[in-house]
Amino acid sequence: QQPVQSPQAVILREGEDAVINCSSSKALYSVHWYRQKHGEAPVFLMILLKGGEQMRHEKISASFNEKKQQSSLYLTASQLSYSGTYFCGTEISGGSYIPTFGRGTSLIVHP
């Protein structure tokens, strides 16, 4: 039931855009997005609920396609501070309150 994230890694120059995808084999109730920097705890970015709207956090936005059972995270005009590993966590419809996390997408932003 672990969601699949793609790509595994992204290398960007400052100012470029990136898309990170998260897909599930099960119908989803919600998708959580976190960013984790090396040696630190995951930090919450946003949560998308079934039937909800696209969310935005500064220049980062996300969408949730319930039919395709997937979510995408869009990073616009990336900044150096965006570097880190991005995890999606998915809650299955009819399941518990606990998200299952993907293996992460490593994002490196160069000057």
Partner 1 sequence: DTGVSQDPRHKITKRGQNVTFRCDPISEHNRLYWYRQTLGQGPEFLTYFQNEAQLEKSRLLSDRFSAERPKGSFSTLEIQRTEQGDSAMYLCASSPGGLGGRSADTQYFGPGTRLTVL
Residues that bind partner 1 (CB under 8 A): 2, 29-30, 32, 34, 40-44, 47, 49, 87, 89, 91, 96-104
Smallest separation (angstroms) from partner 1 to the CB of 42? 5
CB of 103 to partner 1, least distance (A): 6
- Structural contact between residues 4 and 20, judged by C-beta atoms closer than 8 angstroms: no
| Residues 25, 10: Cα–Cα separation, whole Å | 24
Residue pair 102/87 in contact (Cβ under 8 Å)? The answer is yes
Q: How far is the CB of 107 from partner 1 (least distance, A)?
A: 15
